[in-house]
C-alpha cells in the first residue's frame, strides 16, 4: 500500500508546469526517446514508436510543457486524435486547465456525433466527435503523436469547423516530412517536436 503522503509528493514533483526552475528550463533531445521499428505494421514501413518517451517522466513532461508554452493563452480547448493523441492531448489539457475532446474512430462514441470521412491508402475511414463537444467559436488545438500524410488531421480540422469552433492549429510529437502532411493543413500553424526528413 502507498501512503497518501507518497501520492502528494509524487504529484508535486511530476505535475506538468510545476517543476523546479532548473527542470522548467531543461532541454531534452526527444529524438532519443523515439524508437524506430522496421517493417511495422507492414514491410517497408519504419514505425515511429513514442512508447519510450511516454515511459520517461521527464521526457514526457518536457514534450507536454513545450507544446503548452507555445499555445498558452491562444486556445480554449484541445482535441486529441484516436488513440495516442488522447495521451498527449489529455495531459496537455490538464496542464493548461482547459477542456479535452476525444476524436474517435467510427462507432466508438455514444449519442449524436459529428462525423467526417477521409481517405486511407486502402479505402476510407471515419472520424467522429460528440455533438456540441466544442463551445461555439472556441479556439481548438488538434493534438496527435504523429503527422504523416495529414489525412486524419485534416478530418479532425473539418470536425472542429462543422462543430462551430475554430481550429487554432495543430501540434504533433513526430513529423514524417517526406509524406508532406502539412500540405493538407494549409493556412494553419503546425507545431512538431521531432521531424524526420526521410
Cis status of the peptide bond prior to 4, with omega within 30 of 0? no
Residue 182 CB neighbours (<10 A)? 17
Is 84 a known active-site residue? yes
Q: How far is CA 4 from the centre of its chain?
A: 31
DSSP 178: G
The pairing of strands 166-176 and 139-147 is parallel
Point out the catalytic residue in the list 22, 121, 197, 198: 121
How crowded is residue 41: how many other Cβ atoms within 10 Å of its Cβ?
Answer: 7
Pairing mode, strands 124-130 and 166-176: unpaired
- Do residues 144 and 80 lie in contact, with contact meaning Cβ atoms separated by under 8 Å? yes
Q: Is-cis flag, bond preceding 41, omega within 30?
A: yes
23: annotated active-site residue: no
Q: Which of 84, 128, 139, 175 is catalytic?
A: 84
State the catalytic residues: 84, 121
Amino acid at each position: 500500500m502507498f501512503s497518501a503522503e507518497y501520492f502528494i509528493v509524487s504529484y508535486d514533483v511530476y505535475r506538468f508546469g510545476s517543476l523546479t526552475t532548473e527542470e522548467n528550463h531543461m532541454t531534452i533531445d526527444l529524438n532519443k526517446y523515439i524508437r524506430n521499428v522496421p517493417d511495422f505494421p507492414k514491410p517497408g514501413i519504419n514505425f515511429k514508436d513514442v512508447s519510450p518517451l511516454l515511459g520517461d517522466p521527464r521526457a514526457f513532461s518536457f514534450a507536454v510543457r513545450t507544446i503548452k508554452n507555445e499555445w498558452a493563452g491562444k486556445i480554449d480547448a484541445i482535441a486529441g486524435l484516436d488513440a495516442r493523441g488522447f495521451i498527449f492531448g489529455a495531459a496537455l489539457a490538464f496542464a493548461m486547465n482547459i477542456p479535452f475532446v476525444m476524436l474517435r474512430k467510427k462507432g466508438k462514441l455514444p449519442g449524436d456525433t459529428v462525423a467526417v470521412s477521409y481517405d486511407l491508402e486502402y479505402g476510407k475511414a471515419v472520424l467522429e466527435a460528440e455533438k456540441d463537444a466544442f463551445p461555439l467559436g472556441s479556439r481548438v488545438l488538434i493534438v496527435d503523436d504523429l503527422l504523416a500524410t495529414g489525412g486524419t488531421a485534416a478530418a479532425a480540422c473539418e470536425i472542429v469547423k462543422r462543430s462551430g469552433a475554430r481550429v487554432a492549429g495543430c501540434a504533433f510529437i513526430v513529423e514524417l516530412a517526406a509524406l508532406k502532411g502539412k500540405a493538407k493543413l494549409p493556412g494553419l500553424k503546425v507545431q512538431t517536436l521531432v521531424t524526420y526528413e526521410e
